[in-house]
Amino acid sequence: MTQVPLLVVRSWVACVNFGLWATQDDGQPIKLGGHVWTQQRHIADLQRVVTARSIPFRAVPGGHGVEPILPKEGQSFRQLAEDVAGRTVPIAADLYAALTGT
């Protein structure tokens, strides 16, 4: 798992997290996912930017969970990373703009 700060002022305000998580499916033991986390006081801002992109808000503790990817045989790590980042980073950029007014 890796976590990237998105906005830090006096303390962290928002971050993006990517990781592999175990599943309950015997045929698919892992999934790759992304989360956009923020302070509780900014959850409404995060929900607004997610729904403005016509994406259902998937509440996870502290933020929004991007729909996970179930890796398929033959996919490269680069393909997986580009897929999950392509669905996570734009939300993070929108949240950053909403929180900073830029």
- The domain spans of the chain are 2-100
Evaluate if residue 94 carries a pLDDT over 70.
yes
**pLDDT value of residue 66:** 92
In this structure, the dihedral spanned by the alpha carbons of residues 56, 60, 63 and 64, taken in order and rounded to 10 degrees, is: -30
List pLDDT tens digits, range 16-75: 888 888 888 777 778 888 999 999 999 999 999 999 999 999 999 999 999 888 888 888
**Using alpha carbons only, how large is the chain's radius of gyration in Å?**
14
Q: Of residues 40 and 6, which shows the higher confidence score?
A: 40
**pLDDT value of residue 49:** 97
The phi, psi pair for 52, rounded to 5°, reads: -65, -25
* Mean pLDDT in residue range 2-24: 78
pTM for the whole thing?
Answer: 0.83
**pLDDT value of residue 1:** 65
DSSP 56: -
**pLDDT value of residue 25:** 79
**Quick one: which of 62, 6, 60 has its CA closest to 39?**
62
Q: Using CA atoms, how far apart are residues 35 and 91, in angstroms rounded to an integer?
A: 10
**pLDDT value of residue 30:** 82
